[in-house]
Amino acid sequence: MTGSAGVLMVGPNFRVGKKIGCGNFGELRLGKNLYNNEHVAIKMEPMKSKAPQLHLEYRFYKLLGTHDIGASVAVYEPHLNKHKFYMDYSALIGKEGIPEVYYFGPCGKYNALVMELLGPSLEDLFDACGRRFTLKTVLMIATQLLHRIEYVHGRHLIYRDVKPENFLIGRSANRKDKVIHIIDFGLAKEYIDLETNKHIPYREHKSLTGTARYMSINTHLGKEQSRRDDLEALGHMFMYFLRGSLPWQGLKADTLKERYQKIGDTKRATPIDVLCEGHPEEMATYLRYVRRLDFFETPDYEYLRKLFMDLYEKRGYADDTEFDWSDKTMPSPSAESDAKTE
């Protein structure tokens, strides 16, 4: 809606400012909460979008933003033919790293999602660090993101969109710059059926969802995604950070379908030991574990975190939360003059 003097508003409090990004959904704008003068991010999707996803994303954010501490979750394990109760230890971490969502509603010809303004993405930071992260930084990233993904899975969602662009550090202004946040739930999906409380069935011949560079081998093969696929995609991303690139990058093809096929073929043809050559054995151990998981299986997130935390200790790294980018000054969209916030 438009406020007085032609100022674009979302709801009663949020003034829409300059464009700071765009994606398949529409565009991202800088905004301001006029109630407390804090900057926010406003994600805008045309109401006439052929594949609207912003309202669904809002629903997922609200789901992730609430949690019963110490709840146990009943998960149907088909290979056991019964429900198993798991303590939801992700509750102990709570919703750290999940952006705050303030409002969802119409704005002119758009639907708008108003949320916490965050800092740069891991891809931005990777660029700033010369497109290579040290093992110390990758282990710190891995430990945090395994908490994030476990929390998302604990809310009965699979993420299906692992890529460095979707993990953002918080802003130093509110002392969240050491926390890696997970954003963009437009491709997320509930893997526990709300009606039956059972795991979704295994299916094949599914269209590809996610980013080809990081997606699991089974996703390339058209298999329905489950928790294991998020973890495998994370493993590919960790190796991207350590190596600087992945063997299946830069492949040329006439069509997008052929390119995806080539990427999938190269992934399958690249042995884990070759992918992880010159890097600690724990990286290969991680990938072997996640690739062996059953479609329905609940991953042992704690085992995977311990794998990385033990390696961190073994290497004698300081427990100082200092990442490779910690000494670099990164631009912030709200650091520029307020005059530009239309």
Task: Give the pLDDT mean for 184-199.
Answer: 94
- CA torsion through residues 93, 96, 97, 103, sign: positive
Task: Give the pLDDT mean for 95-124.
Answer: 95
Looking at the domain assignment, is residue 310 inside a domain? yes
* Percent of all residues in the chain with a pLDDT value above 90, rounded to a whole number: 79
Task: Give the pLDDT mean for 276-295.
Answer: 99
* Bind-site residues: 43
* Bind-site residues for ATP: 43
Looking at the domain assignment, is residue 35 inside a domain? no
3-state secondary structure of 151: helix
**Which residues, including other chains, have CB under 8 Å from residue 342's CB and lie 6 or more apart?**
7, 8, 15, 16, 17, 18
Looking at the domain assignment, is residue 259 inside a domain? yes
Q: Is the pLDDT reported for residue 311 higher than 50?
A: yes
Q: Is the pLDDT reported for residue 228 higher than 80?
A: yes
Domain that holds residue 155: 53-102+120-336
Q: Is the pLDDT reported for residue 304 higher than 80?
A: yes
> Which position has the token pair 């550090």?
169
Task: Give the pLDDT mean for 263-283.
Answer: 99
Higher pLDDT, 67 or 237: 237
Is 259 buried (19+), middle (13-18) or exposed (0-12) by CB count in 10 A? Answer: middle
Looking at the domain assignment, is residue 125 inside a domain? yes
- pLDDT tens digits along 57-90: 999 999 998 645 444 444 445 556 555 554 454 4
What CATH number did the domain enclosing 143 receive? Answer: 1.10.510.10
Highest-confidence range of 37-41, 49-53, 61-65, by mean pLDDT?
37-41
What is the model's pTM? 0.89
pLDDT confidence of residue 92:
44
Active site amino acids: 161
- pLDDT tens digits along 243-256: 999 999 999 999 99
pLDDT confidence of residue 212:
97
pLDDT confidence of residue 145:
99
Looking at the domain assignment, is residue 29 inside a domain? no
How many helices (H) and strands (E) are present in the chain, helices listed first? 10, 12
d(CA 88, CA 84): 12
DSSP class of residue 180?
A: E
Mean pLDDT (the chain, rounded): 89
Q: In the structure, what pLDDT confidence band is assigned to residue 94 with cuts at 50, 70 and 90?
A: low
Looking at the domain assignment, is residue 264 inside a domain? yes
Looking at the domain assignment, is residue 342 inside a domain? no
Q: How many domains does one find in the chain? A: 1
